[in-house]
Amino acid sequence: MKSKFMNQVHYTLMILPGFVWLILFSIVPMVGIVMAFQDYNPGLGYWQSEWIGLENFKYLFSMSDAWQVMKNTIIIATSKMILNLIVPLTFAILLNEIKSVKYKKVVQTIVYLPHFLSWVILASIIINIFGYNGVVNTVAGVFGAEPRVWMQESSIFRQLVIGTDVWKEFGYNAVIYLAALTGINPNLYEAAAIDGAGRWKSIWHITIPGLIPTIVLLGVLGLGSVLNAGFDQVFNLYNKIVYSTGDILDTWVYRMGLIDLQFSLATTAGLLKSGVSFILIIISYVTAYKVANYRVF
Amino acid sequence: MKNVKKLAALSLSLVMLFSSLAGCGDGKGKESTASKAEESKVSSKVEESKSEVSTSKTEETSSGDDLAFKKFDEPVDVHIGMSVSPIDTTLPAGDSAQDNQYTRYLRDNYNINVIVDWTAAEGNDYNQKVSLAIASDTLPDGLVANEQSYLRKAAKSNMLMDITDLFDQYASEQVKGIVDSTDGRAIESVSFDGKMQGLPNVTVDTDGVHILNIRKDWLDEYSLEVPKTLDDVENIAKVFKEKKPAGDQTIPLSGPDKNERLYCTFLESSNNAHGLDPVFSAYDVYPGYWLQDDKGEVVYGSTDEKMKPALERLAKWYAEGYIDPEMGTRDSSGEAVNANQVGMFFGPWWSLGYGNGDSFKNDPTANWQTYPIFSDDGKWNVHMKSVGTSSTMISKNASEDVAAAIIIMYNALVRDEGVFDTSVAIGWYPLRTVAAAADEVEHESQELTRVLNGEADPEEFNDPMSIYKLLYQDATKVRNVVTGYTKDRELAVTDFSMENEGDFKRMYAILIGNRPYATTEVDKKVYSLTYSMTETMERKWANLKKLEDETMLKIITGQEDISAFDTFVSNWHAQGGDEILAEVAGLN
Amino acid sequence: MIENKTLSSRVFNILNNIIMGILAFSCIYPLWYALSLSLSDKSAANSGLVTIYPIGFTLNSYKEIMGDWKFFNSFWISIQRTVLGTGVTMLVLIMMAYPLAKSKKDYKPRNILMWIVLFCMLFSGGTIPWYITMQKYGLIDNIWGLVLGGSLPVFNLIVMMNFFRNISSDLEEAAVVDGANPWRILFQIIVPVSIPVLATIVLFTSVYHWNEFFQGLVLTTGETNYPLQTYIKQLVVNIQTTNLTKDQIENLSKLSNKSLDAAKVFIAMIPMLIVYPFLQKYFVTGIMLGAVKE
């Protein structure tokens, strides 16, 4: 009993530095959340500013802009989530079919690469590549296509954001699937081959079922980030013309708070986002536990 | 069970410990700033009493400007935040934002010690820093607000000093002359609740007059006439498009790049290089401006029915490839102009010379000329700008001496801008807020022409306190720059000597860039009913502006047809436009 | 597996090889493009003529960078930040993940603490209160501001925690019998068997610190204190301003140099290019074991 108690003390001491960190850098700044319920006046500070109840929330919901931004965020985030499951999965299965071990290794090593580069850097390159005089237009020109200004077409921008994100992450995301693939018992394939099953049949009946738990799990885990459409990416890629389809919650909050001086409104939107994410995380936690019997945390 | 309680108590006390620590830090911070302010108040009082004795001893100046250019007995520290150009190369090695020819000049002449608390890249980065400074109530002594909204927010949050009396006391006669030249508009632009809370930016009126810049040498090559109306512009663009004088990269008419605007608005009513303002003015429509219609009702220019034909024409130009296809996303339209790919672009007077220096460097025969664009019935309509957009804010925590020092810095910039060594960009001058007489450029262009004609002697203009502060300098130089001058003939690029780049650019801008406004009568000058935000705008403008920007751009680039305009108008009214219209109407 | 040599199978193999090749090419192209651009003549780079190989080959951009102390200063700040940030984060995370990996039975406040951690991951006061707090701590222009300011990376904590949870408890029990206290168990038994997941998180954390650009702007008072990505961001991505004055415009057009920018971008990529192959062999297993329980 004594040692058990001592363990608890040790454990608490171990956790302490992390908790101090959280308190100092996460919990203390949370005081600012009160701004969401105020007409924040920086000259007066958090406690003297006028309290206006839910006024900011009401105003936020009345803005057509806010709804558009919400829509963009959800579309971009969910598309990314779904494609970031499917594309890496397909890639992993296809890569698994490559016979040459060396080639496989080389491809695998190269496709991780973009994951490690920052959006600051990638955006500067992507803007160049998709520019009017960029490579994409040059190549498209060979096939007779008219040059376009990709980055300014609001009908394309969303796809561009989603596409470049999937491109950046597919190699890296495939890692999990590739690891799961190695876990599938090779005897199964041999047995299938003896039974006369072709390649497609074995992929369909062995590979994919073998990956299902992983897929389900990743899907559920992604639920919490439905409102995270990728600030770094959009912030570095967008421009005024594509606000209608490209502006997401995080960039909108950034501009409201730090450029347009709407401190309270920005906080309100941020708080809403946190609230919704929190609920979604709980849902995914419960689902993962119930469906996959997996405890996320 | 005991253990648990102990543990809970332990962790609880830990939490409390930390939160109290954090709270402690809070209090300390406030205390120390408060005591600092106290300290500086004390020290400034000492200084004040000293300076009272000494002001009588300072060197004699021409007028009642003893205080305006006084040298402090003790160094006065002025803390500022500063916007810098990340790609500037004019600062000599070893110099910095805090230590350069301008700060040394201030130290040597006025005993003003500039301390740069922070810097940020001009534009968004800087604005973000200003926002943070306001939000956290940590304004340095002096800070330039790039847009009125920042000044307004700081003033409304009670962070700025009331400088009404100080300004009266310390502003030089020259500065007062300039401010008076605006009929009170300058003071009004920085006053809230009747208190002057910033040093105004007064810029020349012609900064808001947009004209057509065109490659005259290309016109001559295809024997085209100088354009007068939009039809002429269209025809010329068509020829440029077909003949491609600059090869495949030819852009007949350049448009705004991703950082520029389609047209000026009441908040940003000037200096819109590569915008399309003259196209709208030629249709007698003024988007972005608050106007009174024939019935006396307040309307917003962007919602005027007359926008439609203007937009339709622009959409046609875009579809035909007359306007830069990369309009709105290009990194820099100025770059394309400089690479001599562009045949025409709209802009204010300085677009030529200052704005496109490299164009001449790359092709010394690029004969850029400027012309006004008239409406079909031959009227030159011009939307006029606000007095200035930026301002210098002075924190209310600054001591009186510091505030006086900031006003002196402003005086000194106005008086001495002409004598600085301009090889170091003037942007390095701390708290640079420009003040110039509203008609400075027109006045200069007239007087310089007289000098060129031999009708005036440069020495006539030798008056350091003149409100035309650069005229004397320019008059002594003009003959060396415009070497090929012939009376009564339109100046061409070949008439200029490019030996001194700075002088060349300035003369080109004054004598060619500003020629339309200096020599052609404007038929209709349009002022916005207000150039600042109203209460509701503070909350709703960002949203409405975004709606507007998007609609206009999409119509022009053909992503939406003209019916989108009607949708925009009804949305605009519904989403706060009506409320704002009522407020603007209430202003007068 | 038995070889299947039908025609369709061969076609599939060829196509598959080609597709994989294209994908790999697309991932290496940006790097290649930046390199080409940086080795091209300034005017060719500015007018968008460079696509695959350098045009007007020159090393000027690299020569110019050699004399740019601000660039290297930022580079050094980023190195410091990455090394310190990764070190501190790892230490804190290891100590924190271990107790949290215990069940509620072994460590009573475990669940409450976990929810608090989670809450902190999701809720924040926003940039402004955070900035005000950092200011009060005196962490402006301070390397520790960049190291600690981003708060605890909760996601990494969860990955590590899940890994620890899956380590066989036999190992631990044996140690307990030997009389080892939790500190010794953690650092002498758990940590050594967790190298793959730790290496993975080292990689995550260092990538985060190296690539982060936003805090660099908020937490510093000028470009001499910028980490590299912030420095590059202000230079390359957008100098967004609506109110350009005439001298700013003049400067912008005069000084724009895509070739030089590309050279800086390329150099900024190098540390990641060096690090990731080393850690690659670990992170494959690391992510797997941390995120997904068999």
What digits encode the pLDDT tens for the residues B121-138? 887 889 999 999 999 999
Q: What is the pLDDT of residue C293?
A: 40
Give yes or no for residue B540 having a pLDDT over 60.
Answer: yes
CA A201 vs CA A97, A196, B222: distances in Å: 13, 9, 70
Looking at the structure, tell me whether residues B245 and B168 fall in a common domain. no
> Strands B298-300 and B290-292: what pairing?
antiparallel
Q: What is the pLDDT of residue B7?
A: 41
pLDDT band at B28 (very low <50, low <70, confident <90, very high): very low
If you average pLDDT over every residue of chain A, what do you get? 85
The chains in contact with chain B, meaning 3 or more Cβ pairs closer than 8 Å, are A, C
Task: Provide, as residue numbers in chain B, all residues whose Cβ is less than 8 Å from the Cβ of A265.
Answer: 539
A110·C28 Cβ contact <8 A: yes
Looking at the structure, tell me whether residues A49 and A91 fall in a common domain. no
Q: Is C135 within 8 Å of chain B by CB?
A: yes
Give yes or no for residue A214 having a pLDDT over 80.
Answer: no
In this structure, is residue B513 part of a structural domain?
yes
Task: Provide, as residue numbers in chain A, all residues whose Cβ is less than 8 Å from the Cβ of B331.
Answer: 127
Q: What is the pLDDT of residue B188?
A: 86
Looking at the structure, tell me whether residues A41 and A150 fall in a common domain. no
If you average pLDDT over every residue of chain B, what do you get? 85
Q: What is the pLDDT of residue B405?
A: 96
Residues of chain C with CATH 1.10.3720.10: 68-291
- CA B138 to chain CA centroid, Å, is 25
Q: What is the pLDDT of residue B264?
A: 93
Q: What is the pLDDT of residue B15?
A: 35
Looking at the structure, tell me whether residues B337 and B364 fall in a common domain. yes
- Amino acid, single-letter form, for residue B257: D
Tell me which DSSP letter residue B513 carries. Answer: I
pLDDT band at C272 (very low <50, low <70, confident <90, very high): confident
Distance from CA of B137 to the nearest CA of A (A): 6
In this structure, is residue B191 part of a structural domain?
yes
Out of B116, B124, B135, the one facing C240 most closely (by C-beta) is B124
* Overall average pLDDT of the B346-352 stretch: 93
Q: Is C105 within 8 Å of chain B by CB?
A: no
Q: What is the pLDDT of residue A93?
A: 87
Last residue of a domain, one of A31, A53, A75: A53
Percentage helix, strand, coil for chain C under 3-state DSSP, each rounded to 5: 75, 0, 25
Q: What is the pLDDT of residue B59?
A: 41
**Mutate which of B79, B259, B332, B424 to test chain C, going by most C C-beta atoms within 10 A?**
B259
Q: Is B123 within 8 Å of chain C by CB?
A: yes
Q: Is C182 within 8 Å of chain A by CB?
A: yes
Looking at the structure, tell me whether residues B167 and B271 fall in a common domain. no
pLDDT > 70 fraction of chain B, expressed in percent and rounded = 89
Distance from CA of A116 to the nearest CA of C (A): 6
Structural domain total, chain B? 3
Distance from CA of C108 to the nearest CA of B (A): 8
Q: What is the pLDDT of residue C252?
A: 52
Looking at the structure, tell me whether residues A192 and A286 fall in a common domain. yes
Looking at the structure, tell me whether residues B229 and B122 fall in a common domain. no
C246·B354 Cβ contact <8 A: yes
In this structure, is residue B14 part of a structural domain?
no
pLDDT band at A98 (very low <50, low <70, confident <90, very high): confident
Match 């394939």 to its residue by tokens.
A189
Give yes or no for residue A241 having a pLDDT over 70.
Answer: yes
The number of beta carbons lying within 10 Å of the beta carbon of residue B462 is 13
* Overall average pLDDT of the B58-84 stretch: 80
Does the model's pTM come out above 0.90?
no
**Higher-confidence position of B263 and C176:** B263
Task: Provide, as residue numbers in chain C, all residues whose Cβ is less than 8 Å from the Cβ of B132.
Answer: 127-128, 131, 218
Residue B338 near residue B358, CB atoms below 8 Å: yes
The chains in contact with chain A, meaning 3 or more Cβ pairs closer than 8 Å, are B, C
Looking at the structure, tell me whether residues B146 and B229 fall in a common domain. no
Q: What is the pLDDT of residue B125?
A: 86
The chains in contact with chain C, meaning 3 or more Cβ pairs closer than 8 Å, are A, B
CATH classification code of C68-291: 1.10.3720.10
Q: Which ipTM score applies to this complex? A: 0.86
In this structure, is residue B11 part of a structural domain?
no
Task: Provide, as residue numbers in chain B, all residues whose Cβ is less than 8 Å from the Cβ of C109.
Answer: 7-8, 11
Chain C from 117 to 176: CB within 8 A of any A CB: 117-120, 122-130, 132-133, 137, 148-152, 157-158, 161-162
**Mutate which of B210, B331, B501 to test chain C, going by most C C-beta atoms within 10 A?**
B331
Neighbouring residues of B221: CB distance < 8 A, sequence distance ≥ 6: B245
Distance from CA of B458 to the nearest CA of C (A): 26
Residue B73: burial class (beta carbons within 10 Å; 0-12, 13-18, 19+): middle
A41·B11 Cβ contact <8 A: no
**Domain of B103, in residue numbers:** 44-205+388-428
The number of beta carbons lying within 10 Å of the beta carbon of residue B295 is 6
Give yes or no for residue B166 having a pLDDT over 90.
Answer: yes
CA distance B512 to B370: 7
Out of B25, B124, B135, the one facing C136 most closely (by C-beta) is B25
Give yes or no for residue B343 having a pLDDT over 90.
Answer: yes
Residue B267 near residue B531, CB atoms below 8 Å: yes
If you average pLDDT over every residue of chain C, what do you get? 82
Give yes or no for residue B40 having a pLDDT over 60.
Answer: no
In this structure, is residue A264 part of a structural domain?
yes
* Overall average pLDDT of the B260-269 stretch: 90
Neighbouring residues of B42: CB distance < 8 A, sequence distance ≥ 6: none
Looking at the structure, tell me whether residues A118 and A95 fall in a common domain. yes
Looking at the structure, tell me whether residues B66 and B201 fall in a common domain. yes
pLDDT band at B538 (very low <50, low <70, confident <90, very high): confident
Task: Give C75-118 pLDDT, tens digit per residue.
Answer: 999 999 999 999 999 999 999 999 999 888 888 899 899 889 98
Percentage helix, strand, coil for chain A under 3-state DSSP, each rounded to 5: 80, 0, 20
Q: What is the pLDDT of residue A225?
A: 75
In this structure, is residue A297 part of a structural domain?
no
Residue B83 near residue B97, CB atoms below 8 Å: no
A113·C280 Cβ contact <8 A: no
Q: What is the pLDDT of residue B64?
A: 59
Q: What is the pLDDT of residue C286?
A: 58
* Overall average pLDDT of the C40-67 stretch: 81
Task: Give A35-72 pLDDT, tens digit per residue.
Answer: 999 999 998 988 889 999 998 998 888 777 788 899 99
> Strands B251-253 and B342-347: what pairing?
parallel
pLDDT band at C48 (very low <50, low <70, confident <90, very high): low
Q: Residue B412 maps to which CATH number?
A: 3.40.190.10
Residue of C nearest to A269 (CA): C126
First-residue to last-residue Cα distance in chain A:
27
Q: Which of B461-475, B487-501, B514-528, C148-162 has the highest mean pLDDT?
A: B514-528
In this structure, is residue B33 part of a structural domain?
no
Q: Is B329 within 8 Å of chain A by CB?
A: yes
Tell me which DSSP letter residue A289 carries. Answer: H
pLDDT > 90 fraction of chain B, expressed in percent and rounded = 57
SS3 B117: strand
Which string of b and e fits B489-523 if b means at least 16 CB within 10 Å?
eebebebbeeeeeebbbbbbbbbbbbbbbbeeeee
Neighbouring residues of C234: CB distance < 8 A, sequence distance ≥ 6: B86, B121, B125, C217, C223, C226
B328·A241 Cβ contact <8 A: yes
Give yes or no for residue B559 having a pLDDT over 80.
Answer: yes
Residue A216 near residue A292, CB atoms below 8 Å: yes
Match 């990743």 to its residue by tokens.
A218
Task: Provide, as residue numbers in chain B, all residues whose Cβ is less than 8 Å from the Cβ of A133.
Answer: 249
pLDDT > 70 fraction of chain A, expressed in percent and rounded = 96
Looking at the structure, tell me whether residues B177 and B80 fall in a common domain. yes
In this structure, is residue B6 part of a structural domain?
no
Give yes or no for residue B167 having a pLDDT over 80.
Answer: yes
Structure tokens at A218: 């990743």
Task: Describe the crossing of helices B2-55 and B400-416 by its angle, rounded to 10 degrees.
Answer: 60
Helices (H) and strands (E) in chain B, counts: 21, 15
* Overall average pLDDT of the B264-284 stretch: 92
In this structure, is residue B268 part of a structural domain?
yes
* Overall average pLDDT of the C261-276 stretch: 86
Looking at the structure, tell me whether residues B240 and B303 fall in a common domain. yes
Looking at the structure, tell me whether residues A82 and A143 fall in a common domain. yes
Task: Provide, as residue numbers in chain C, all residues whose Cβ is less than 8 Å from the Cβ of B339.
Answer: 43, 46-47
The number of beta carbons lying within 10 Å of the beta carbon of residue B140 is 21
A241·B128 Cβ contact <8 A: no
**Domain of A233, in residue numbers:** 63-292
The DSSP result for A88-99, as a single string, is HHHHHHHHHT--
In this structure, is residue A58 part of a structural domain?
no
**Mutate which of A98, A107, A124 to test chain C, going by most C C-beta atoms within 10 A?**
A124
* Overall average pLDDT of the C145-166 stretch: 86
Element at B273 (helix H, strand E): none
Q: Residue A161 maps to which CATH number?
A: 1.10.3720.10
Q: Is C131 within 8 Å of chain B by CB?
A: yes
Match 């079919």 to its residue by tokens.
A97
Distance from CA of C287 to the nearest CA of B (A): 33
Looking at the structure, tell me whether residues B110 and B181 fall in a common domain. yes
CA-based nearest residue to B230, from B380, B116, B85:
B380
Task: Provide, as residue numbers in chain A, all residues whose Cβ is less than 8 Å from the Cβ of C23.
Answer: 91, 107, 111, 170-171
Q: What is the pLDDT of residue A261?
A: 87
pLDDT > 70 fraction of chain C, expressed in percent and rounded = 86
A59·B539 Cβ contact <8 A: yes
Q: What is the pLDDT of residue B431?
A: 94
Looking at the structure, tell me whether residues A83 and A229 fall in a common domain. yes
C109·A12 Cβ contact <8 A: yes
Question: In angstroms, how far apart are the furthest CA atoms of chain C?
Answer: 78
Q: What is the pLDDT of residue A297?
A: 66
Looking at the structure, tell me whether residues A252 and A106 fall in a common domain. yes
Neighbouring residues of B57: CB distance < 8 A, sequence distance ≥ 6: none
Looking at the structure, tell me whether residues A103 and A22 fall in a common domain. no
Out of B3, B19, B550, the one facing A8 most closely (by C-beta) is B3
Out of C6, C16, C236, the one facing A124 most closely (by C-beta) is C236
